[in-house]
Structure 1
Amino acid sequence: MLRFILRRLFVSIFILLGALFLVYCLVAISKDPFADIVQSTAPNKQQLIEARTELLNLDVPPPARFFIWLGGMLGFLVGNGTWGVNVLGQDVGALLPNVVGQTLQLVTGATLIAIVAGIAVGVATALRQYSGFDYAVTFVSFLLYSLPVFFVAVILKLYLAIGFNDFLQNPQIPIGVLLLVGIIIGVVVMSVTGGPPKQRLIAFAAGAVGTIVLLLLMQALDWFREPSLGIPLMLVLGLTTVLVVAVLTVGLRERRNLVVTGAVALSGAVLWFPLQFAMTNEIGVWFIVALVLAYTVLAWLAGQFFGGVDRHQIRTNAAIVGFVVAVLLVIDRIMQVWPAYMDATGDRPIATVGAVNPQFAGTDNIWLQLLDSGTHLLLPTLSIAFISIAQYSRYSRASLLDVMNMDYIRTARAKGLPERTVVMRHALRNALIPVTTVVAADVGAIISGAIVTEQIFAWRAMGSLFTASLETVDLNPLMAYMLITASLTVLFNLIADILYSVLDPRIRLS
Structure 2
Amino acid sequence: MLQFILRRIAISTLIMFLGSVLMYVLTINSADPLQDLRESRAENRDQLIQARIDNMGLNDPWWERYLGWLTGVSKCFVLQCDLGATRDGANVNNLLVASAGASLRLVTLATFLAIFIGVALGVLSAIRQYSGFDYVITFAAFVFFSLPSFWAAVLLKDFGAIKFNNWIADPAISTTAIAVIAAVFAVTVASVLGGALRRQLLTALVAFVVVFGLVFWFDRIDWWLQPALGLPLILLGSLLGLAFMLVMTVGLAHRKVMYAGLVTVGLGLVSYFVTGPILEDPSWLIIIALTVVTVLVALAVGWVMGGYERRVASIVTVGTALSMGFLIFMDKLLRGWAGFLDMAPSGRPVGTIGQNRIIPERFEGDFWEGIFNWGIQLVLPTIVLTLISIATYSRYTRGSMLETINQDYIRTARSKGLSDRVVFTKHALRNALIPITTIVAFDFASLLGGAVITETIFGWRGLGAMFRLGLDTVDPNPVMAYYLVAGGAAVLMNMFADIAYAFLDPRIRR
TM-score by length of 2: 0.89
Given that residues 354 and 458 in structure 1 are in contact (C-alpha distance below 8 angstroms), is that contact kept between their aligned partners in structure 2? yes
Look up the match of 1:322.
321
Q: 1:102 to 1:81 in 2, by over 3 A?
A: closer
Task: For residues 170-201 of structure 1, give each alpha carbon's deviation from its aligned partner in whole angstroms, at most 9, with x where no partner exists.
Answer: 33332212222222222112212222222112
Question: Larger deviation: 425-434 or 73-82?
Answer: 73-82
State the 1:371 CA deviation.
Answer: 0.8
Counterparts of 1:117-136 in structure 2, within 5 Å, are 117-136=117-136
Partner of 1:140: 140
Q: What is the one-letter code of the residue matched to 2:486? A: T
| Distance 1:56-1:285 versus aligned 2 partners, 3 A rule | farther
Asked if residue 472 in structure 1 is aligned to residue 470 in structure 2, the reply is: no
5 Å-filtered alignment, 1:368-383, equals 368-383=369-384
Residues 27 and 475 in structure 2, CA contact (< 8 A), matched pair in contact too: no
CA contact (8 A) 1:16 1:487 kept: yes
What is the match of residue 204 of structure 2?
A: 204
**Are the equivalent residues in 2 in contact too, given 1:252–1:258 (CA < 8 A)?**
yes
Q: Which residue of 1 aligns with 2:387?
A: 386
- Confirm or deny: 8 A CA contact 1:433 1:500 kept in the other structure: no
- What is the Cα deviation at residue 395 of structure 1? 1.7
Q: 1:55 — aligned with what?
A: 55
CA contact (8 A) 1:296 1:326 kept: no
Q: Residue in 2 aligned with 1:179?
A: 179
What is the DSSP-based 3-state SS (H/G/I as helix, E as strand, rest coil) of the residue aligned with 1:42? coil
1:195 equivalent in alignment to 2:179: no
Q: In the alignment, residue 479 of structure 1 is paired with which amino acid?
A: M
Aligned pairs for 1:265-344 (under 5 A) are 265-281=265-281, 283-296=282-295, 298-300=297-299, 302-304=301-303, 306-344=305-343
CA-CA distance at 1:490 after TM superposition: 3.9
After TM superposition, the structure 1 stretch with the greater mean CA deviation from structure 2, 29-38 or 451-460, is 29-38
Q: Counterpart amino acid of 2:482? A: Y
Q: Letter of the 2:39 partner, please give it.
A: Q
Distance 1:357 1:398, change over 3 A: same
- Indicate conservation of the 8 Å contact 2:73/2:82, yes or no: yes
Q: 1:401 aligns to what?
A: 402
What corresponds to 1:64 in structure 2?
Answer: 64
Tell me by how many angstroms 1:467 deviates. 0.7
Query: CA-to-partner distance for each residue in 1:359-389, whole Å, 9 max, x for gaps?
Result: 5553253322211222211111101111211
Cα displacement string for residues 68-111 of structure 1 (whole angstroms, at most 9, x for unaligned residues): 22322333553444221111001112223332222111111111
Give distance in 1, aligned partners of 2:304 and 2:8: 40
Q: CA deviation at 1:293?
A: 4.6
Residues 213, 388 of structure 1: alpha-carbon distance in 2 compared, 3 angstrom cutoff: same
Segments of structure 1 that go 5 or more residues without pairing to the other structure are none
Q: Using the alignment, how far apart are the partners of 2:59 and 2:28 within structure 1?
A: 12
What is the alpha-carbon distance in structure 2 between the residues aligned to residue 81 and residue 320 of structure 1? 44
Q: CA RMSD in A?
A: 2.9
- C-alpha distance in 2, partners of 1:501/1:72? 34
Deviation, 1:306, is: 4.6
Give how far 1:156 is off: 2.0
Mark the CA change 1:362 to 1:319 in structure 2 (over 3 Å): closer, same or farther. Answer: farther
Q: Which amino acid aligns with 2:161?
A: A
Q: Deviations over 1:41-66 (max 9, x none)?
A: 33434433332333333343333333
User: Match for residue 216 of structure 2?
Assistant: 216
Kept in 2, the 8 Å contact 1:107–1:446? The answer is yes
Aligned partner of residue 30 in structure 1, secondary structure: coil
Structure 1 residues 251-292: Cα deviation after superposition (integer angstroms, max 9, x where no partner): 2123333233333343333222332333354x5444434443
Deviation, 1:454, is 1.4
Residues 486-505 of structure 1, C-alpha deviation per residue, up to 9 Å, x if partnerless? 23334544665677699xx7
Correspondence for 2:354: 354
Separation in 2 of the partners of 1:61 and 1:317? 65
CA distance in 1, matches of 2:280, 2:236: 25
Alpha-carbon distance between aligned partners in 1 of 2:478 and 2:308, rounded to the nearest angstrom: 57
* Structure 2 stretches lacking a partner, 5+ long: none
Secondary structure class of the residue paired with 1:96: helix
SS in 2 for 1:276: coil
The aligned amino acid for 1:327 is F
Q: Paired residue for 1:485?
A: 486
Q: TM-score, normalised by structure 1?
A: 0.89
Paired residues of 2:33 and 2:475 also in contact (CA < 8 A)? yes
Deviations 1:109-165 (A, max 9, x none): 111111111111111121111112222222222222222012112222233334433
1:16, 1:246 → 2: CA distance? 48
Partners in 2 of 1:132 and 1:372 — Cα distance? 41
Q: 1:242 and 2:225 equivalent?
A: no
Q: Which amino acid aligns with 2:443?
A: D
Distance in 2 between the 1:4 and 1:334 partners? 50
Q: Distance in 2 between matches of 1:409 and 1:115?
A: 25
Contact 2:122 2:398 in 1 (8 A): yes
Q: Which amino acid aligns with 1:28?
A: I
Higher alpha-carbon deviation: 127-136 or 310-319: 310-319
Q: Deviations over 1:418-473 (max 9, x none)?
A: 10111112111222223322232222332344211112112222111111101222
Q: C-alpha separation between the residues in 2 aligned to 1:190 and 1:459?
A: 39
Match of 1:412 in 2: 413
Q: Residues of 1 paired with 2:5 and 2:304: CA distance?
A: 35
| Structure 1: distance between partners of 2:225 and 2:411 | 53
Note if contact 1:75-1:82 (Cα within 8 Å) is conserved in structure 2: yes
Deviation, 1:390, is: 1.9
Provide, for residues 173-230 of structure 1, a one-character-per-residue CA deviation record: whole Å limited to 9, x for no partner: 3221222222222211221222222211211111111111221232344321111223
